[in-house]
Amino acid sequence: MRSELSALLANIVLRASLLAWVAAQFVKFLLVLLRQRRFDVARLVGAGGMPSSHTAFVSALAAATGRTVGWESPLFAVALVFASIVVYDATGVRQAVGRHAEVLNKILEDLYRGRAVPPARLRELLGHSPLEALAGAALGVLTAWATT
């Protein structure tokens, strides 16, 4: 058991990916702290916001894979395609879901206006703007480059 855990922790590609995710989440936390002057611990694990931790995670995965097994490797190709799908989802589908949540929340607000029971709010910060995804990708690639 101990040797499996040691082997897992020794995986440089996994370490680079996890470090990029942690760095992105920490940057989100710091930005909220600096901009809004509030201590929001949920930003350390929550989805959405600048930079995209999903994009940082998979960009680091692809970059670290390319650096360790070679850019011509089929494994790098798989990591790159996987990263592309995640980034597309983060900027496209999840962004649309966030817009839908905004609209639904406005409808709920209109329906319940004047009532004592507040409407349940849907989560609106789900997707990423292209800039947030680009920042996450840059953070992921830089983290992979620095750690592999």
How many domains does the structure of the chain reveal? 1
Helix, strand, coil percent values for the chain (each to nearest 5): 75, 0, 25
Per-residue confidence (pLDDT) for residue 117, from 0 to 100: 47
The reported pTM is 0.70
Those residues whose C-beta lies under 8 Å from the C-beta of residue 128, and which sit 6 or more positions away, are: 48, 49, 52, 54, 55, 90, 91, 94, 95, 136
Tell me whether residue 121 is in a domain. yes
Q: Considering the domain boundaries, does residue 126 fall inside one?
A: yes
3 in a structural domain:
no
The answer to the question of residue 29 being in a domain is: yes
When pLDDT is averaged across residues 113-126 and rounded to a whole number, the result is 59
Higher-scoring residue by pLDDT: 68, 50: 68
Give a yes or no: residue 1 inside a domain: no
Name the residue range of residue 67's domain: 12-147
Instruction: Kindly tell me if the per-residue pLDDT of 121 is higher than 70.
Output: no
**Per-residue pLDDT at 127:** 65
Stretch 50-56: mean pLDDT: 90
Model confidence band, residue 97 (pLDDT cutoffs 50, 70, 90): confident
Q: Is the dihedral of CA 45, 28, 133, 17 positive or negative?
A: negative
pLDDT digits over 103-117, tens only? 777 777 877 776 554
Report how far residue 3's alpha carbon sits from residue 41's, in angstroms, rounded to the nearest whole number: 34
2 located within any domain:
no
Alpha-carbon span 136 to 26, nearest angstrom? 12
Average pLDDT over the chain, rounded to whole? 84
